[in-house]
Every structure is written in C-alpha cells, then in structure tokens.
Amino acid sequence: MTTKKSVLETNDQLDYDLVVVGCGIAGLSAAVLAQQNGIRVAIIERATKDERGGNTRYTESYWRMKSRDSVSDDFEEQLISNSGGYPDPEITKDVLRSYENWPPILKSLSFTDPDLISTISSEAPNALQWLETFGIKFDFLPNYFINESTTRMAPIGGGLALVEALATFAETGPGDVTIHYETTAKSLIHNNNGGIIGVNAVGKGNKPLKILGKGVVLASGGFEGNPEMASHYLGPKALYIRPVARGGYYNRGEGIRMALEAGGAPAGDYGSFHAQPIDPRSGEQEPIVLIYTYGILVNKFAERFIDEAPTTVDASYESRTRAIMQQPEGIAYAILDGRLDDIPNWQKSVRSDIPPIIADTISDLASQMDLDADNLSRTINSFNKSCPDPAKFDPIQADGLSTRGLKPIKSNWARALDRPPFRAWPIIAANCFTFGGIKVNNNSQVVNMDGEAIPGLYAAGEVVGLYYRNYPGSTSVMRGAVTGRLAALDFVRRHNQ
C-alpha cells in the first residue's frame, strides 16, 4: 500500500532521492525535514496506516528537558555516566582532540562519544521547536511517577500526536513523499564505490520491491519484536519478556542487521534493554506497576532478592526490573499492605487494568499467588522485624527509612507489612526498546569498523547505539527526533552540493 505516489517506476523499481526505513519519530523527522527542503522521499513502513509509528505511537514521549530551550540539568551527566563499560583510557584520551583528528579505532569504539552527547543536548531544543511548527504543544504534564529525580516535558497527546502530525504533513503537505505501508526493508543496495543507493524490500504477498535513492536512513527501531535476536543478544531469559506496547512488535531488527552487514560498527549495549515492570495479566499498553518501592518484591520461592528502593523509583526501576527477569520464570510479586493508602495518589503508578490480588491474611495471599505460605510468612516477618520507626516516612522524597540487619537491605520507605488488606501484583520485565545498535557520528552517518562514514547511509532513533547499562529516562524520543533531523540535514547539504 502506498500513498501520494509520484515517482519513477519501472518493473517493481522505484526511484527517489532519499529512502527512509521506519515511520516513527526518527524516520518521520528525517523524511519531513527532507521534504521541506525539496527532497523526494520514500518511507518504508512495516505496519498498516492505522498502526504506523512503531514505539512512538504508544509512548507518552517525555523529553528530559527543563524548558523549551534547554535539556535538564542532569542530561549530559546521565548520558556520560551510561556511555560504555570500561573503555581503554589510552584510546579514549584522544576525545580531547577534534573529531577529525581522532584515530580510526576511537571513531569506531563502542562507547557514546561526548561530542554526540553534546550535539543531542544542543539540538534537542531545535527539534522540539521544529515539532511545534506542526501544531504540537509541549508542557510539563503529569506522569506515572510519585517521586522524580529530574525534569520532563511532553507533547500534549503523546507520541501519537507526533506521529499523526508529521505523517499527515508527509502525505498532504507540499513536497514529494510516498509512504509504502505493509512493506519491509530487507537489504541495502550498494553502488560500485561502496555507497548505499537504496533498499531491497518486500511488500504484501512477499512481492520483492527495489527502492532506489541517493541515500538511506535506517530508522526502523530495535529488535524487541524479534525473539530470535532477543534470545541471541539478551540470553535465554528473553523468553520471559515482551514488548511493552504493540508498536514494539513491529521492531524486528532488520535496520540494525542491514547496517552491520554493510560494515557498520556496533554501538550500544547489545546485552541489555530498557526494562519496565508490568503486570503480565494485562493486555493494556504499558501496564506498569511502580508502587513496589513502598512494599517488597518476592520471587516464586517467596524470597526477597533485591533492594526495592535504593532511590526514587524513576531512577531505579530499570535495574530492579532486570533483576526480576533473572528470577525463576522471570516473574516477581509486589506485596503491599493497607498502608499503601497512605501514599497520595498511588493509583497513578499502576496502569494495569487487572485488580491486585487482595487478602486479609498472608496465608490467603500466598494461596492466591500459588506461593509457599510458610516461606512468604517467614520473609515478611523477617522484613517487619528489621523495619525502623516509621515516624519519618516521606512518600515523596527518598526518606532513608532503611531496614537493619536484613539482606538484601531496603534503603528507603521500609515500613512493616502488617495492616490488612494485603495486596499483590505479579510483575515481569517488559522490553521498551533494545540498547544495541549502530555507531553514528554527529551527522547521524553510519560509521564503519574502520572509523569512516559509509557514504549514503544514516541511522536514527533506536537503530543508533547510544545507551549502556542504564537508560537515562525520557531521552529516547528526543534521540529519535534529533538524529532523524541530523540525518536529513546532512543529506540535504550533500544533495545540494
């Protein structure tokens, strides 16, 4: 299915200036900015028109910003602190030189370049203000965190508003954009000089389609919707995780694979992903459960296994969720008591449409969860005995109410669980997006293993390997908009030379 078709077509071959793979925020930002600059664009989108947009369509799209003009105070610090493992200082010392003078081994190194972090920081306000020209309004909107460690803005209407505004402009605005729905990119087309000049794709009925251009932007998401790649990179526990929203099922890793096959350097943490704690019983989009910090987490053996509250939930839920994935059968249970009702508006931190398991006794609660009642009683009794005087309890700030003599410790909000009714939610890890991707430079050009930009090839959004270990929240949609625009700006500049 295509829309707004005005291209050269010969024997299932289509000719454009720029080919964009993916119709989320990254792909649309690249396509529309190119469109505004007179470029003929093809967008390849696996989904139907009604489900276009990938993960962006289903996210609330928070941006880690303190105003329209500036990212949050901790933005660069957070990205730098999660920019790699333990890179060799004899290699990374050259980051102090200009990028042009970096040795090839540094340009292709799997870490997040400080220059790229600075570029995203400086370009995020430009991306936000550009999006506002399409009628999108950003504001400091309510979210599902009871306590927070940073500042966030979001578009009114969430990611769906971004997708529909940009896609509508692409289809009806001035310029020449064709969106090929229900079409999947499979491989890149090279010219004799090593440049990328198009994509081999497949339409409905497995019909092959060759889409040519003078450049390609890979913006097709991560591999959270591909169980083979997830198992390969994340390990056998990937069996127990699922995409957090419907859009993630369309992200099957072809863009990353195509870039790697073209010689692109890998970047980002291939063994990790942005994890969210969700209720597995719910079919809602993003049915998160984020109130466990006020209770305890136990596994199928009714044992605690981690500090539930090392800090505010927005800064710690990802690592807690990955620990849940490592438990037997990849599941845990959040257990709270009647004191949950002391938490103002706690309901906003639970977005499951399935009610919690409720009981007046621990034994009954254990029975409903199919846990060993004696083990659960022992775990809760030990926890209760270790809790301090709750007089200084503060649900909003990390209050330092820590258990004593208990392993693992609970660092904050440790209050005894002894007031019925007892409530429990099952929790599994959901995969918002994968971290492993492709190395790019400040123009979002794909960098090969020798530190050189591959002519005509760009990556944007989740295809860009940016994150390691921990996800600095509310930066992914921002990354998509910025890198998509960077790719388009570079392509337009080269195209007009």
Residue 157 scores a pLDDT above 80: yes
The one-letter amino acid code at 288 reads I
Shared-domain flag, residues 442 and 391: no
- In this structure, the strands spanning 273-278 and 422-434 are antiparallel
- In this structure, the strands spanning 2-3 and 208-212 are unpaired
Residue-wise pLDDT for 28-63, tens only, equals 999 999 999 999 999 999 999 999 999 999 998 999
In the block, residue with structure tokens 């920081």: 121
Query: Phi and psi of 473, rounded to 5°?
Result: -55, 155
Q: How confident is the model at residue 1 (pLDDT cuts 50, 70, 90)?
A: low
Residue 283 scores a pLDDT above 50: yes
Burial (Cβ within 10 Å: 0-12, 13-18, ≥19) of residue 416: middle
Shared-domain flag, residues 325 and 452: no
* DSSP codes joined into one string, 15-79: E-SEEEE--SHHHHHHHHHHHHTT-EEEEE-SS-GGGTTGGGGGS---B-EEETTEE-TTHHHHH
Residue-wise pLDDT for 63-105, tens only, equals 999 999 999 999 999 999 888 989 999 999 999 999 999 999 9
**Distance linking the first and last C-alpha atoms of the chain:** 34
Shared-domain flag, residues 304 and 410: yes
Give the CATH number, domain containing residue 117.
3.50.50.60
Shared-domain flag, residues 392 and 287: yes
Shared-domain flag, residues 366 and 398: yes
* DSSP codes joined into one string, 26-39: HHHHHHHHHHHTT-
The one-letter amino acid code at 344 reads P
pTM: 0.94
Q: Say if CB 196 and CB 188 are below 8 A apart.
A: yes
- Number of C-alpha atoms within 13 angstroms, CB side, residue 497? 7
Task: Name the domain boundary from 407, 430, 453.
Answer: 430
Structure confidence at residue 8 (pLDDT)? 45
Task: Name the domain boundary from 430, 445, 467.
Answer: 430
Shared-domain flag, residues 325 and 245: no
* Domains: count for the chain: 2
Residue 145 scores a pLDDT above 80: no
Give the CATH number, domain containing residue 353.
3.90.700.10
Shared-domain flag, residues 451 and 421: no
Which helix (DSSP H) or strand (DSSP E) does residue 125 occupy? helix 114-132
Shared-domain flag, residues 46 and 112: yes
Shared-domain flag, residues 375 and 236: no
Taken as a whole, the chain contains a residue count of 497
> In terms of residue numbers, what domain contains 311?
280-430
Task: Name the domain boundary from 430, 446, 480.
Answer: 430
Shared-domain flag, residues 35 and 17: yes
Among the residue ranges 51-55, 142-146, 366-370, 489-493, the one predicted with the least confidence is: 142-146
Shared-domain flag, residues 466 and 348: no
Shared-domain flag, residues 402 and 447: no
- 3-class DSSP string for 464-479: ECCCCCCCCCCCHHHH
